[in-house]
């Protein structure tokens, strides 16, 4: 997780909240998501099988972090997926 001296990523988000109406974070979700952002975009690359092949078997970890976050507070979450030669077929079938 990002850190600059004694300042953490959460400190950076809290500072941004003082300056802007809304704060958003884009993440792969592999670190705990206990962040004070208003919106979180999480990268998931299709099914568990495809995601794990592309992102070092991290699907279960991402889902665990997401579920933990959602049990702690209400939050807007968007899922984004990179369309590649390995993932595009899964969008046609959904």
Torsion angles phi and psi, residue 80, rounded to 5: -125, 145
pLDDT in tens, 70-86: 888 777 777 766 777 76
User: Structural domain tally of the chain?
Assistant: 1
- In this predicted structure, the answer to whether residue 18 has a pLDDT above a threshold of 70 is yes
**80: domain range?**
3-92
What ranges in the chain are assigned the alpha helix state H? 9-19, 48-54, 59-72, 88-92
How confident is the model at residue 63, as a pLDDT?
92
Q: Considering the entire predicted model, what is its pTM?
A: 0.73
Percent of the chain with pLDDT over 90: 30
């Amino acid at each position: 997780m990002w850190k600059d001296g004694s300042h953490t990523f959460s400190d950076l988000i809290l500072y941004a909240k003082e300056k802007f109406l809304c704060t958003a974070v884009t993440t792969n979700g592999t670190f705990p998501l206990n962040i004070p952002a208003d919106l979180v975009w999480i990268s998931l690359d299709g099914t568990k099988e495809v995601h794990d092949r592309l992102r070092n078997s991290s699907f279960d970890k991402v889902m665990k972090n997401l579920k933990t976050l959602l049990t702690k507070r209400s939050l807007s979450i968007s899922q984004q997926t990179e369309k590649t030669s390995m993932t595009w077929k899964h969008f046609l079938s959904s």
